[in-house]
Structure 1
């Protein structure tokens, strides 16, 4: 990790599809700063998020 930064931003993608339908991809940014000093990041699924476009 780059020591020039104090926080880590987490992004993830989620793939969903109904049976027999095309798969859709959703890209999400978690609206929470994670300290770089804390080596453990736990994602519960209840963090505030915002969709992003890629």
Structure 2
């Protein structure tokens, strides 16, 4: 019984570590997309100002 309980505990810890890794991966993706979005916004602002200048 003790060994079965231990294996189920390790299974739970494996799932939780997998979950945190997924969260970290998502957070990384979000940061990357936000950075790309910021760069795109800057590009649009630059082009818009160039258009108004011309």
| Richer in strand (by share) | 1
Taking CA–CA contacts closer than 8 Å with sequence separation of 6 or more, which of the two structures ends up with the larger relative contact order?
Answer: 1
TM class, shorter-length: under 0.3
> Normalized against structure 1, the TM-score is what?
0.19
> Normalized against structure 2, the TM-score is what?
0.19
